[in-house]
Structure 1
Amino acid sequence: MDEALPATPLTRRLLAGVGAPFERTPPGEAAAVALRCFGVTATSIARLATERDDTFRLAVPGDAHGYVLKISAPGDDPAEIGLPGAAIAHAAARDDSLPLQQFVPPLTLSPTHGGRAVRLLRYLPGSLLSEVDPSPTDWRAVGRMLGRLTDALADFDHPAADRWLAWDLARLAELSELVPVIEGEDRRRAVGDLLSELSAETLPALHLTPRQVVHNDFHGGNLVVQSNAPDFITGILDFGDIVRSHRAADLAVAMSYAAPSLRASDPWAPAIALASGYRERVTLSDAESVLVPHLVLGRLAQRLLLASWLVTSRPENAEYTSRNLESTWRQLVSLRQSPLPTGGARQ
């Protein structure tokens, strides 16, 4: 039994796989895995920081871009490991112009390393959205791309789609037990009050809205961009948090990373631009739209809760999991002090 986990069974089940510690694969060993499983010889290999698996970028001869090697965490459910690849294949079949990473076929069926699943993907070149200063037009392009992906996944199904996932916004109320791990009495009170508000009306109403498989992590670190590209977005990364949830929640997740522009006169303006692009591809009901701004606040609270818990329970990875705690808090304060968009996600 992991003593770092909360006592409540529901919360324990949600958090059991979040950032669980394991022995990391050394880069040299990972390079040998790439050669054995995919026939790829790496001239250099660099670890990429992640929450729950081993991920490496590989440079190879004669290829300007290279590959990304992923070695799953020990104990990961095989069905869940296959979910992202199945979703990417389905989305590509529905919309072949979506900028999705390509999986490299292995030399053997279901390659593993020490019992852990191994996958190799093509590296997508370009800058990350988080590294640039998007204009309102760019934010609309982000929303439009999310809408296209939502469309492409609308009829996708998979045995693992209904998995328990702590990052599923629909399960936010089940994380209330984590409030005490947030540092600072003022912050604990603010997040606790917000959870109470959302649990009273927003989350029950969310459960009555349409569900489908969604990306669930459409943020600047998972989007490759090129300013001169027709669609601005040239790569969609990391389907690791994919789950069957609510469209309104998925949009709110993306908006939560756009909304808190502390330099803007209206902190909600970038998020509203994103939502306007999304609505070009996906029609939300009034019931969904009115929930979205509240869910944006909920996502920020979710990030504070889970990151704070990871810092205290998995100190060996605290440098990575704590990196956005302060900015997330500032973002939440900024949005809480600003009027919610009167039209929800319809402005």
Structure 2
Amino acid sequence: MAPTVSDDIDGAANTTADEMLDRLGLGAGSLAAGHVVMSETEVSALVRECWSLDATATRLATEKDDTFRLDTTTGERFVVKVSHPNEDPGEVAFETELTQHVHDSPHGVPVPALLPAADGRALVPIRDEAGQHRLARLMTFTAGTPLDSTGSSPRERQRVGEVLAKLRHATAGFRHPADGRLCAWDVRHLPALRPLLSRVADPAQRKVLTAAFTRFTQVAERVLPDLRTQLLHNDFSKSNILVDHDDPAFVTGIIDFGDAVHTAIAVDVSTALLNQLPRDAAQRPVDDLFTDARDVLHGYLRFADLTETELAVIPHLVMGRVVARALITLHRAALIPGNTTYILRNTAQGWGQLAWFLDRTQDEISSALL
């Protein structure tokens, strides 16, 4: 079983709150910190030199690295990602190799393929114009509309669940020295984010987050150590799912393995279900927060199993992910004020979602998917 925060962080007798955040990648000197971004002109020159591509670069919105769509003179499209200067090279290699592993697997998950540079390497070490040491990788471009930019029918949401199940099977056999890394977005480690509660500026928001945080620790921590684990994508959000309503498969691409980690299967599913919750729950309260998410779950269960224990704890993990999202994004927005719009794009919806959870008993939440 992969280490949990209680094993790896909270057990350290003299670990300070800031040291805990550093180990989860949330310290002031970590990936939460800003960096000098690359210009589109600089990236175009980079791919010309390393991949012999004559292309125009267009920046894509991301949280930590520099990502660009490339349009070549011959009409082809690619994506180039340049890692954050503070990102661990071993973790970048892990994400890169995992992406290619899933692409090559027999499970039919649509993910980009890595394209080697002229010297044969998939990851190219560079020093950018600002003097920052980074790693660049080139991938095929996956056509489709991000799911967070369009709607979906019940059948289409079932397709999303089917792909998540296939992705679970595709990642199951992969091993890498970095696959046991600590990830702040793995809600098994939510207890280690406790120091961030005191840094929430709004008293009303802090009160809600504290109540939900306490609820999570009362319920989920009792179950988490015994849940099945494996290597998983861990970020099956609508922004990472590309779709085409005219394609029978619906899902045309899965991107961004940046949060992949060895974690609980239930955690991976809870992340996917979270991203199907209504965004306007505060303005339009609903009796069943999981109406759309249940479609995803039904599709998932066609290709992968979940135990009754996992089904009971998943709604609590969803709530925990809402808490983690608020704490992490509010913290990162304070550290990187220039990227606030992107970082906080999904935070506001969480207040209505948390109200739904806190208005119900623990037993009611446990039975939401049973």
TM-score by length of 2: 0.86
Distance 1:197 1:139 in 2: 29
1:204 matched to which residue of 2?
222
Q: Which residue of 2 aligns with 1:3?
A: none
Q: Is residue 2:303 matched to residue 1:291?
A: no
Q: Is the 8 A contact 1:260 1:334 kept in 2?
A: no
Query: For 2:292, what is the secondary structure of its paired residue?
Result: helix
Task: Quote the offset at 1:204 in angstroms.
Answer: 3.5
Looking at structure 2, the residues matched to 96 and 258 of structure 1 have their Cα atoms a distance apart, in angstroms, of 24
Distance in structure 2 (CA, Å) of the matches to 1:96 and 1:287:
27
Which residue number corresponds to residue 20 of structure 2?
10
Secondary structure of 2:137's aligned partner: strand
Q: Secondary structure at the match of 2:152?
A: coil
Which of 42, 47, 55 aligns to 2:59? It is 47
Check whether the contact 2:145–2:243 (CA below 8 A) recurs between aligned residues. Answer: yes
Give 1:336 shift: 4.0
Moved more, 223-232 or 83-92: 83-92
Does residue 1:237 correspond to 2:255, yes or no?
yes
Task: Tell me the distance in 2 between the aligned counterparts of 1:234 and 1:7.
Answer: 42
Q: Deviations over 1:120-144 (max 9, x none)?
A: 1111112111111111111111111
3-state SS of paired residue (1:207): helix
Cα distance in structure 2, aligned partners of 1:321 and 1:75:
18
Matched, 1:111 2:129: no
Would you say 1:275 and 2:286 are equivalent positions? no
Give the letter for the 1:41 counterpart: D
2:9 match: none
Counterpart of 2:165 (choices 147, 160, 166) is 147
- Asked if structure 2 preserves the Cα contact closer than 8 Å seen for 1:182 and 1:304, the reply is no
Counterpart contact for 2:266–2:310, Cα < 8 Å: yes
2:37 to 14, 17, 24: 24
Which amino acid counterpart does residue 156 of structure 1 have in structure 2?
Answer: F
Instruction: Say yes or no: does 1:171 pair with 2:183.
Output: no
- 1:100 equivalent to 2:118? Answer no
**Runs of 5+ unmatched residues, structure 2:** 1-15, 128-132
Residue 59 of structure 2: SS of its match in structure 1? strand
- Give the Å deviation of 1:96: 5.2
AA aligned opposite 2:66: D
* Distance across 2 between alignment mates of 1:278 and 1:18: 32
Instruction: Extract unaligned runs of 5+ from structure 1.
Output: 1-5
My pick for the range that moved more, 214-223 or 262-271, is 262-271
Q: Distance in 1 between matches of 2:65 and 2:301?
A: 34
Counterpart for residue 305 of structure 1: 327
- What is the CA deviation profile of residues 206-262 of structure 1, one whole-angstrom value per residue up to 9, with x for unaligned ones? 121111111111111111101122221010011111111110000000100102354
Give me the whole-angstrom Cα distance separating, in 1, the residues matched to 2:80 and 2:58. 10
| Higher mean C-alpha displacement, 218-227 vs 265-274 | 265-274
State the identity as a percent. Answer: 29
Local SS of the residue matching 2:115: coil
Q: 1:69 aligns with which of 48, 68, 80?
A: 80
Return 33-42 or 16-25, whichever deviates more.
16-25
One-letter amino acid matched to 1:89: Q
* Alignment partner, residue 33 of structure 1: 46
* Structure 2 equivalent of residue 60 of structure 1: 72
Contact 1:94–1:152 (Cα < 8 Å) also in 2: yes
What amino acid sits opposite 1:312 in the alignment? A
Instruction: Look up the equivalent residue of 1:327 and give its one-letter code.
Output: Q
Q: Which residue of 1 aligns with 2:13?
A: none
Amino acid at match of 1:177: P
Moved segments of 4+, more than 3 Å: 261-265, 334-346
How many residue pairs match? The answer is 339
* Alpha-carbon offset, residue 13 of structure 1: 1.4
Contact kept? 1:259, 1:272, Cα under 8 Å: no
Partner SS for 1:59: strand
Q: Is the 8 A contact 2:100 2:114 kept in 1?
A: no
How big is the shift at 1:265?
Answer: 5.8
* Aligned counterpart, 2:92: 81
Check whether the contact 1:84–1:242 (CA below 8 A) recurs between aligned residues: yes
RMSD of aligned residue pairs (Cα, Å): 1.9
Asked if 1 retains the 8 angstrom alpha-carbon contact of 2:107 and 2:166, the reply is no
What is the CA–CA distance in structure 2 between the aligned matches of 1:68 and 1:203, rounded to whole Å? 40
Shift of residue 103, structure 1, vs aligned partner: 1.1
Tell me whether 32-41 or 11-20 shows the greater mean CA deviation.
Answer: 11-20
Q: 1:342–1:203: structure 2 CA closer, same or farther, 3 Å change rule? A: closer
